[in-house]
Structure 1
């Protein structure tokens, strides 16, 4: 696992945003395979993402403090499929998707963190924050 995380960190350090993102999007499948080798890719990835990513991207928002999942396991898996196989961030045609239709990635700006902003069915993510 160290070689993958080192690759992500090295890519982020050199501004290789696509390399970092592609490697990061493969980790749930790799980790899922280590935990449950007999499961199919989608099932093990979504299971792993539900455990580790859903809690990180779930917030209570608004005056009524309602629970909102910005990045669900299913949408993250749909992003993985769309980005790795087609090179795009639109997931509206992915069967796995749950709520989102598109992602907008931004590169880090000095002293700023612009991450996890949702407008309609699009989610804006800062590449380094997602990858880390």
Structure 2
């Protein structure tokens, strides 16, 4: 799993935001698959994983009504994943089957931007208008990395899951690593 997290970090460092966002969007699928007894994932499993590890990062307490409001929910993230990866678009409103289960009013599109903010910056890492959510690319990717690291900590004693992680693909950079791989 670390190879995916490192790839996101490397992509962010060179401002390859498409690469970083693409990998970040598939991480909940990978984690849900590892968690699954049958090694399969689904939109539902993706959303369950998101709700457990990411939901609080995309919820904000508004002062005017002292209520928590979902800024970016699991269904929106899954719809973004589907639209971004399969249609090459930021428009998610056509993902009816996914969005109909959302627990809040969803937006019609999710766009990524580069504000170059620190993950712990007091500045906003997103802007939600009536129908578009803009999320800072660095914030999104770093938040996803943090969530996966928390998940990895949670499964650290689950041998079966660790074996699945160990079997994930690596990119071999030289022949020496291939020789070690075959042992």
TM superposition score normalised by structure 2: 0.67
- Separation in 2, partners of 1:12, 1:89: 19
In the alignment, what sits opposite 2:138?
A: 128
Higher strand share: 1
In the alignment, what sits opposite 2:157?
A: none
- Separation in 2, partners of 1:110, 1:129: 7
Cα separation, partners in 2 of 1:40 and 1:34, compared to 1, 3 Å: closer
TM superposition score normalised by structure 1: 0.91
**Distance apart, 1:45 and its partner CA:** 0.6
In the alignment, what sits opposite 1:116?
A: 126
Q: Which deviates the most, 36-45 or 54-63? A: 36-45
C-alpha contact 2:21 2:137 (8 A) present in aligned 1: yes
- Separation in 2, partners of 1:2, 1:110: 23
Tell me the matched-pair count.
132
**Distance apart, 1:109 and its partner CA:** 4.1
In the alignment, what sits opposite 1:30?
A: 30
Q: How does 1:2-17 map to 2 (within 5 A)?
A: 2-17=2-17
Q: How does 1:37-52 map to 2 (within 5 A)?
A: 37-38=37-38, 39-52=40-53
Say which one has the larger Rg.
2
Provide the alpha-carbon RMSD of the alignment.
Answer: 1.8
- Separation in 2, partners of 1:107, 1:3: 23
